[in-house]
Amino acid sequence: MASINLKDLVKAYGQTEVLHHVDGQIEDGELVVIVGPSGCGKSTLLRMIAGLETVTSGQISIGDRVVNQLEPADRDIAMVFQNYALYPHMSVRENMAYGLKIRKIDKSEINRRVEETADILEIRPYLDRKPRQLSGGQRQRVAMGRAIVRDPQVFLFDEPLSNLDAKLRVQMRLEIRKLQQRLGVTSIYVTHDQVEAMTLGDRLMVLNGGYVEQFGTPIELYDRPQTVFVAGFIGSPAMNFVPATAEQGRLTLENGAQIPGGAGASGKITLGLRPEHLQADENGPIRVSVGLFEHLGANTLLHGTLEGSNNEIVVSIPGHISAAPDAVMGFSVSADLLHLFDAETGKRIGA
């Protein structure tokens, strides 16, 4: 096992820089998720760590070795891809054994490792099948098995669950989490899915346009997003943003409504309100003109606008609720759950 250190890492294709001075330390045994929208540089960063892309400048270390110049095969990593990349003409056993065979590992040792791993993954009954005789979930397990038998210092996962249906994804991500904790292997996992990232990661590195927006635990990102981007990306439904003016511990919305809070801020800000933090309150200062309701069973989503403005607002209300289509509902929010951001830079104001 090993920690991974990324130091001032830059990637450029020709004149175009796609990763900008990325820093980060992944601790021994930790599972870090690199998450962000399509095109933000996640795969490029993972492929650089794997040795499949060159480093333009900066340094990647695994354990105490700088690996910039090492071939992928010499980095002691194993990668799991979204398309499984299994050899179709080989059995499950042969697929799992292949990497060990080309490393000239003793045959009885290969058998021992393959069978032990097959037991961990509960795929022993399928060892003699070909990949096409397996379901998607079973194939994904074989792909993981092939990584595990190698007993590497580091696992790299590149969107490994994208090809599975929604239910299986939820099941497999729990399995990956349990397996990673059991094996204790330092892991980096790439996904664009923030829910997957939140449930899997010890910590999340949020990338946006090739920049690290924030690197922290799921709860740190949810409770204290450092930028408007992270605030809007983490959490479902997404945080609401409304323009406001801060003055003497009071926030004034565009429709004139006043909310207590925002001590320490002054001038124009962006106010972030999580849908689940708005409490129904007849006399509350946040007045929402009802648009439509989405009844999800356990809770109801109200989609509306701040009364007298075009600011769209989503509220998550526990249980069932309904109102006339043109009704106005009042909400309040506790001052410690307000998120304030600089209107210009998008950076968090205060703690």
Identify which of residues 43 and 299 has a Cβ nearer to ligand ADP in the complex. 43
Q: Does position 39 bind ligand ADP by CB under 6 A? A: yes
For residues 7 and 25, give the distance between their C-alpha atoms in angstroms, rounded to a whole number: 8
Identify which of residues 38 and 310 has a Cβ nearer to ligand ADP in the complex. 38
CB of 17 to ligand ADP, least distance (A): 9
Interface residues for ligand ADP in 247-306 (CB under 6 A)?
A: none
For residues 248 and 195, give the distance between their C-alpha atoms in angstroms, rounded to a whole number: 37
Q: Does position 35 bind ligand ADP by CB under 6 A? A: no
Tell the residue number behind the tokens 């919305």, with chain if given. 253
For residues 225 and 101, give the distance between their C-alpha atoms in angstroms, rounded to a whole number: 47
Identify which of residues 38 and 283 has a Cβ nearer to ligand ADP in the complex. 38
CB of 198 to ligand ADP, least distance (A): 18
- Residue 268 near residue 345, CB atoms below 8 Å: no
Backbone Cα Rg of the chain:
24
Q: Does position 38 bind ligand ADP by CB under 6 A? A: yes
Identify which of residues 41 and 304 has a Cβ nearer to ligand ADP in the complex. 41
Judged by CB under 6 A, the number of residues near ligand ADP is: 10
Identify which of residues 29 and 58 has a Cβ nearer to ligand ADP in the complex. 58
Q: Does position 43 bind ligand ADP by CB under 6 A? A: yes
* Residue from the set 6, 26, 44, 278 that interacts with ligand ADP by CB under 6 A: 44
Interface residues for ligand ADP in 9-28 (CB under 6 A)?
A: 13, 18
The residue range among 40-48, 117-125, 222-230, 337-345 that interacts with ligand ADP, by the rule CB under 6 A, is 40-48
The residue range among 39-47, 140-148, 197-205, 250-258 that interacts with ligand ADP, by the rule CB under 6 A, is 39-47
CB of 321 to ligand ADP, least distance (A): 38
Q: Does position 41 bind ligand ADP by CB under 6 A? A: yes
What strands, in cross-sheet order, belong to the sheet with 250-253? 258-260, 250-253, 240-247, 267-273, 339-342
Q: Does position 40 bind ligand ADP by CB under 6 A? A: yes
CB of 34 to ligand ADP, least distance (A): 8
CB of 13 to ligand ADP, least distance (A): 3
Tell the residue number behind the tokens 């801020």, with chain if given. 265
CB of 42 to ligand ADP, least distance (A): 4
Residues that bind ligand ADP (CB under 6 A): 13, 18, 36, 38-44
